[in-house]
Amino acid sequence: MYTASCLCGGIQLKINTEIPEVFVCHCGQCQKAQGSAFVAIAPIETKYLEILQGHTLFSEYFATENKKRVFCKACGSPLFSARLDLPEVIRLRVGIINEPLSAHIASHAFIDYKAAWFEILDEAKKFHEGLN
């Protein structure tokens, strides 16, 4: 249904499912990992993710004991995060999707930590803490 790639194009992915919702996290860890005010993710079951190119370019960083952040080791593009206790789901960074995405924002998590210069203007659900 979608293709995705890192900045250098070395990693090419195919996502074989619809993406109806995007979830936004404003926690400090996501701000640091993305270099931005927030991260926008879509949970994807791993059975719908196909690696077309760049198997050797994947690298990971364990931000916490249970969650790894996966990125391209050539260009540094964040690709997805994965929890060890939920191995069948990744949290895809939707900014790497090549095609237009018509998904809507489902929620904002950790809004108490949002960047002071960013204003949340949509009507999506807002949570002071995160969701599992």
| pLDDT > 80? residue 130 | no
Could you tell me if residue 57 is inside a domain?
Answer: yes
Tell the burial category of 3 from Cβ atoms under 10 Å away from its Cβ (0-12, 13-18, 19+). middle
Rounded Cα gap, residues 120 and 129, in angstroms: 15
pLDDT tens, position by position, 51-66: 999 999 999 999 899 9
Q: What is the CATH number of the domain that holds 109?
A: 2.170.150.70
Tell me the residue length of the chain: 132
Q: Find the range with the poorest average confidence among 60-64, 71-75, 89-93, 127-131.
A: 127-131
User: What is the rounded CA–CA span in Å between residue 23 and residue 110?
Assistant: 11
Domain contains 131 = no
Amino acid at 30: C
- For the stretch 30-55, pLDDT in tens is 999 999 999 999 999 999 999 999 99
Q: What is the mean pLDDT of residues 79-100?
A: 97
Q: Domain of residue 16: give its range.
A: 2-126
Query: Is 82 part of any domain?
Result: yes
Residue 17 falls inside a structural domain:
yes
The per-residue pLDDT of the chain, averaged, comes to 95
Number of domains present in the structure of the chain: 1
The pLDDT of residue 63: 87
Q: pLDDT value at position 131? A: 63
